[in-house]
Copies of this chain bind each other. A is one copy, B any other.
């Protein structure tokens, strides 16, 4: 095991999250042991990359054999902090917010939606999910801090993103996942991640418009 506190590449963390998925699927197929080669095949990552990623955190495999599917899954969950429940709140129950609230995957993977807020009076009280009623934005600080929400998801329009983030910080959340196309500012001790679906599509458009049939990039100089 390497020592703690060396910098772990962000890309490694992203891959670990996908490994869990692939491992669970392989486990469903009856695979009790996986090699880095097989796992790599299944999640389209090179075997060496997988071993390197894991080696940042310890030794989880058996040389000559591979990794025990179930226990590796658990180990990775521990690494990512998914072995506990993260109380989460969502602000802005519009189209996207509604989709996220109904995304069962989250619940199955360590996140618990403890409250949802919106500023539209017409939406207050609506049940968006088993036992979860939309609350007025004015209740955010009170409710979120009472529920000890650790994560806040922002799905309000860009123009309200900053004020929403401010409320979440006031309520004591430690991390914010922002879907609005606006770069909000938060204090240093708050972890912020932006998800830009538009950028993903734009990236696709870029690749398509610059890909001439069969052209190969990578030309040096």
Contact = CB atoms under 8 A, between A and B. Distances in A.
Contacts of A189: 213-214
A17 B208 contact: no
A210 B106 contact: no
Interface string A2-37: 010111001001101110111001000000000000
Nearest to A176: B204
Interface in A62-100: 79-82, 84, 86, 95-96, 98-100
A203 B14 contact: yes
A17 B199 contact: yes
Given A6-B221, A177-B204, A103 B109 contact: no
A218 interface: yes
B7 A217 contact: yes
Interface stretch (A131-139, A162-170, A190-198): A190-198
Interface of A: 3, 5-7, 10, 13-14, 16-18, 20-22, 25, 42-44, 79-82, 84, 86, 95-96, 98-100, 102-103, 105-106, 109-111, 150-151, 174-175, 177, 181-183, 185, 189, 191, 193, 195-211, 213-214, 217-219, 221
